[in-house]
Amino acid sequence: MAKKLTHIDAKGNAVMVDVSDKPATARIAVAKGSVFMAAATLKLIDTRKVKKGDVLGVAQLAGIMAAKRTPDLIPLCHPVALSSVTVELVCDKKKSAVHITATCKVTGQTGVEMEALAAVSAAALTVYDMCKAADRGMKIGDIRLVEKSGGKSGRFTQK
């Protein structure tokens, strides 16, 4: 049997889930994604020679800002008082990619999966934007939730 969608009421209307009766618990979400590119583009990023500036530093800030603004971007997403957001970007020469990991934490009534996914997405888009003059063939991919803990549904992990 398929699970019921929580953002749709009995009449089929979109609704924000009522979390008022849920207890506040410590919640963590981790998301990952990658930007694949030409080796020459990765070298420009790694050696900080991209004309627009420090790609990894700017993308890190973009990811943090996106996590904080997620309810403004995703309809029906609850605003949460994030207690921590980290965004890590790593250059991978073997795969010619920048790998992005975002971790969001909150003690609240709802999770932070969307915030972590928004952080990865914004960081990846920022890498693309800052490097598109050098490499229009970059590919953003593999954006996914890899870990979630806290709340009634407990722990979730995948690679």
Question: Which one is catalytic: 21, 54, 129, 135?
Answer: 129
Q: What is the pLDDT of residue 159?
A: 78
Domain layout of the chain by residue ranges: 29-157
Q: What is d(CA 135, CA 128) in angstroms, rounded to the nearest whole number?
A: 8
Q: What is d(CA 36, CA 98) in angstroms, rounded to the nearest whole number?
A: 7
Q: What is the pLDDT of residue 14?
A: 82
- Residue 137: phi, psi to the nearest 5? -90, 10
* Residue 133 per-residue DSSP state: T
DSSP one-letter string for 99-117:
EEEEEEEEEESS--HHHHH
Is there a contact between 152 and 17 (Cβ–Cβ < 8 Å)? no
List pLDDT tens digits, range 75-115. Answer: 989 999 999 999 999 999 999 999 999 999 999 999 999 99
Q: What is 29-157's CATH superfamily? A: Molybdopterin cofactor biosynthesis C (MoaC) domain (3.30.70.640)
pTM confidence score: 0.92
> Is 54 one of the annotated active-site residues of the chain?
no
Q: What is d(CA 131, CA 50) in angstroms, rounded to the nearest whole number?
A: 7
Burial letters for 4-20: b for 16+ Cβ neighbours within 10 Å, e otherwise? eeeeeeeeeeeeeeeee
Positions in the chain short of pLDDT 70: 1-5
